[in-house]
Amino acid sequence: GSCQGNSVERKIYIPLNKTAPCVRLLNATHQIGCQSSISGDTGVIHVVEKEDDLKWVLVDGPHPPYMILLDGNLFNRSVMLQLKGTSRVSGLAVAIAKPSPPQGFSPGLKCPNDGFGVYSKDYGPQFAHCNKTVWNPVGSGLSYEDFDFPIFLLEDANETQVIKQCYQDHNVPHDGSGPEYPLCAMQLFSHMHAVTSTVTCMRRSSLQSTFSINPEVVCDPLLDYNVWSTLQPINSSGKVDPEKEVIIVATRIDSHSFFWNIAPGAESAVSSFVTHLAAAEALHKVSDVHLLQRNIMFTFFQGETFDYIGSSRMVYDMEKDKFPLRLDNIHSFVELNQVALRNDSILWMHTDPVSRMNESVEVQVRNLLDILSNSSMGANVTLQEAGYSQPLPPSSFQRFLRARHIPGVVLTDHRTAFQNRYYQSMYDTTENIRMQYPEGLSPEETLEYVTDTAKSLAEVATVVARALYQLAGGANNTSVIQADPKTVSRMLYGFLIKMNNSWFQSIIKPDIKGILGDVPQHYVAVSSPVNTTYLVQYVLANLTGTVVNLTKEECLNPEKIPSSEKEMYEYAWVQGSLDPNSTSRVPYCVRSTVHLSKALSPAFELRQWGSTEYSTWTESRWKEIRARIFLVASKELEIITLVVGVAILIFSLLATYFINAKADVLFSIPRDPGAVAY
C-alpha cells in the first residue's frame, strides 16, 4: 500500500496547482509582464467581484497588503492601473470569466507589431502606426505593461472555489469593520532574473558565459522553427535555379495572451494555419502537380506575434543565401490571416497600395486578385477587395515587402478592424470561432464530428487551393480540387481541444509522443521546437507526404538507400494507428518535402540586441513559480509567540549554563559504604 507522510507543511499550506503566471518579457528598450519579490509576495485575500469592492482594498481595509482574487470581467486596463498605483496590493489571482466578457478583451496592442512591418516614415508614411486603420480597437495594451507584483491566472474553478470558501470563512468584513484573525492569506512566487531590457540581460548573460565556469543566464531569446514544404520537391541543401518561380503561401502558427503559455489562438492563428494545411492537402491530391510550371511553397511562421520573428528570419536567410530559395525566386505571395469569423461568407483581399504604384507589380497583383475572385465561383465564399486606400493588416507578407516589391495578397475575414474581439487573449478559444458539438459525444466521435466551422474553413481552403493551382500554371478544370472538411475537423479538435488524440498519436514519431499534452497552447517560448511546431510538421507530412515501403532501419538512415534522394525528401518513421485486435501500433515510413528552418530573430545572430530592424524579444528566466494559501495569525499573536519563544530559549540557555557550572555538585558519585579506607 502507499504510505504518505503527514508533514507539517501540508497541514499549514494548500498549494494551488492549476495556475498560469504572468512572466517578464523584454525587448530592446522595455521590460513587460510581472514578478514577485525574491522570497515570494504574501497578502490577505480579498475577493473583488464588482468595482465597488476595490474601495476596501485601496482605502478602507485594515490589513494591507492585500492579495486580490479578481473576477475575470474586471480584469481590464482601468482596474489594473488603479492597482498598479498603490502599495496596498501585493498580488493578484484572476479567475477566468465564464462566459467570455461580451464587450471583448484583448490585452494586445491596438496596432500589433507596430514599427516592424513595412510602413514607416520612408514607405507609406500615411499608413505607418495604424494612422489609417486601427486594427485591434479592443486592444488595451495590458500585456505590454510592467507590473511589480505577481499576477496569476486560476485555471481550475475548484481551486477558485477553495480560495473563495477560505475568504468567506475568515476574511469577510463585518459591518464595515475588519474581520477577526486568523485571516486567509495567499503567497505567490514568480521572481524573475532579468531586468530592464534585452540589451541589459543579454549583455549580463554573455559576460557570465565568457568568464564563469557555471554561467547564470538571466534571459533567453524567443525562438523556434518555421515549418515549410514544397509542392514539387526541391534540394533543401542546395539552391533553387534562379529562373524557377515559386509562389509562397504563408500563415503564422503562434499566439499569445497575458499569461505565460496560455495562448489558444483559435481565430488569431489556428483557423488560418488549419485552412492552409487543408489547402496543401487538396493540392497534393491533384494528378498533374508535377507538371506545373511554378512551384508552390507552404510556409508556417513561428514567433510572428513578437514582431515577426519567423518571417524576418526567413527573409534574412534568403538575402544571405542561407535558404534554398532567394527572394528573386518568389513569383507571388498569398497569406492567410484570420479567416474564421466571416460576415456573409465574405473574405477580404488586402494588398499594398504603395508597391502597386509600380506598374509591373500592379499588373501582377491585378492578375492575382482576378484568379482568386474567379476561384470562388460556385463556392460558398465571396472574395472582395478591401480597397486601394487600405494598407496591409499586420502580416508576415510585410516583412517580405520590406526586402523587395513582391506581388501579394493577404486574405482575412475583416475589411478594416479585426472581427476578433479576443485577439491575443485567453478567450480566443473554440467558443470564439463558434465551434459547437452535440452533447454526449465520446472523444473519438468528437474528433471525427464535422462542425459548421470546419465546413466553412474547408470552403476557404478549397478556394485558396484552386487559385494556387491556376497561379502555378495549372490548365485543367479546378472543380476537382476540394479540401476535406473531415481533415479540417480533426485538425481543429487536435489544435484547439485535445492534442493527445488518436490521430495525432498515429502520425508522430514514437520518440516525441511526450509532446502530446492535453490542452493545446501556441506560445512560441524559448525551448524549441514547441508542440505546435512538431505537430504542424507531422500533420503537413501526413497530409502531403507518401507512405513508402521501407524498414525502420532504412527509414531512419535513408542515405544508405541508393534511390532515396535524401536532399529532396525528409523521411519519418511514425507510430501508426493502433491495431484493432491488439494494443500494439502498426508503424510506417512517411516521405515528404516538409522541412524546419530556424525562427530566431537575426538580431541575436548579429548580436544587435538593441535593433530596431529586427525583433529583440527575450523571456526572463526564473527559479520557481508556485502559489499557495494558508491562515495567518495577527501581528500581536505573532509577536507574543516570538517573545515567548525567545524567553524559553534564554531560560533554556541559562538553565543549561547553571547545570553545566554546578555539574560536579549535581552529578557527584556517592561513595560505596562497603568500601573501608585504611
Confidence of residue 662 (pLDDT cuts 50, 70, 90): confident
| 201 and 26 Cβ atoms separated by less than 8 Å | yes
| 233 and 568 Cβ atoms separated by less than 8 Å | yes
Q: Which of 390, 394, 387, 375 is nearest to 269 (CA)?
A: 394
pLDDT per residue over 23-48, tens digit each? 999 999 999 999 999 999 999 999 99
pLDDT tops 80 at residue 554 = yes
Q: Which of 577, 446, 435, 441 is nearest to 503 (CA)?
A: 577
Q: Hey, how many other C-beta atoms are within 10 angstroms of the C-beta on 628? A: 18
pLDDT per residue over 284-341, tens digit each? 999 988 899 999 999 999 999 999 999 999 999 999 999 999 999 999 999 999 999 9
CA atoms of 627 and 625, how far apart (whole Å): 7
What ranges in 171-243 are assigned the alpha helix state H?
198-211
Which value, in Å, is the radius of gyration of the alpha carbons in the chain? 31
Q: What are the Cα distances from residue 99, in Å, to 71, 73, 96?
A: 12, 10, 9
Structure confidence at residue 617 (pLDDT): 97
Mean pLDDT over 656-675 rounds to 79
pLDDT tops 70 at residue 675 = no
pLDDT tops 60 at residue 3 = no
Q: What are the Cα distances from residue 375, in Å, to 9, 175, 368?
A: 66, 69, 11
Helix (H) / strand (E) element for 313: namely helix 309-319
CA atoms of 397 and 333, how far apart (whole Å): 7
Q: Which of 261, 253, 250 is nearest to 303 (CA)?
A: 253
Q: Which of 378, 347, 407, 409 is nearest to 478 (CA)?
A: 378
CA atoms of 64 and 43, how far apart (whole Å): 7
Confidence of residue 674 (pLDDT cuts 50, 70, 90): low
pLDDT per residue over 147-175, tens digit each? 999 999 999 999 999 999 999 999 998 87
Q: How many CA atoms lie within 13 A of 346 on its CB side?
A: 12
pLDDT per residue over 527-545, tens digit each? 878 999 999 999 999 999 9
Q: Which of 436, 476, 482 is nearest to 460 (CA)?
A: 482
Confidence of residue 377 (pLDDT cuts 50, 70, 90): confident
Q: Which CATH number fits domain 223-545+593-600: 3.30.420, 3.40.1350, 3.40.630, 3.30.1490?
A: 3.40.630
Provide DSSP, 433-492.
TT----TT--HHHHHH---HHHHHHHHHHHHHHHHHHHHTT--S-GGG----HHHHHHHH
Amino acid at 208: Q
Q: Give 418-434 as a 3 state SS string.
A: CCCCCCCCCCCCCCCCC
CA atoms of 383 and 413, how far apart (whole Å): 10
pLDDT tops 60 at residue 95 = yes
CA atoms of 112 and 619, how far apart (whole Å): 19
Phi and psi at 437, nearest 5°, equal: -120, 150
Q: Which of 378, 523, 493 is nearest to 433 (CA)?
A: 493
pLDDT tops 70 at residue 667 = yes
Amino acid at 564: S
Q: How many CA atoms lie within 13 A of 12 on its CB side?
A: 7
Which class for 76: exposed (0-12), middle (13-18), buried (19 or more C-beta within 10 A)?
middle
Phi and psi at 655, nearest 5°, equal: -60, -45
Place of cell 482575412: 412
Amino acid at 59: V
Q: Hey, how many other C-beta atoms are within 10 angstroms of the C-beta on 90? A: 23
pLDDT tops 90 at residue 672 = no
| 561 and 550 Cβ atoms separated by less than 8 Å | yes
DSSP 300: E
Comma-separated ranges of CATH 3.40.630 domains in the chain: 223-545+593-600
Q: Hey, how many other C-beta atoms are within 10 angstroms of the C-beta on 416? A: 14
| Pairing verdict, β 588-592 and 546-548 | antiparallel
Helix (H) / strand (E) element for 644: namely helix 635-661
Confidence of residue 564 (pLDDT cuts 50, 70, 90): low
Q: Which of 103-106's residues contact partners 24+ apart within 8 Å by CB, and which partners?
A: 103/138, 103/421, 104/138, 104/421, 104/422, 105/75, 105/76, 105/138, 105/140, 105/421, 105/422, 105/425, 105/427, 106/136, 106/138, 106/139, 106/140, 106/420, 106/421, 106/422, 106/423, 106/424, 106/425
Instruction: Show the CA angle centred on residue 303, arms to residues 336 and 281, nearest 5°.
Output: 40
pLDDT tops 60 at residue 677 = no
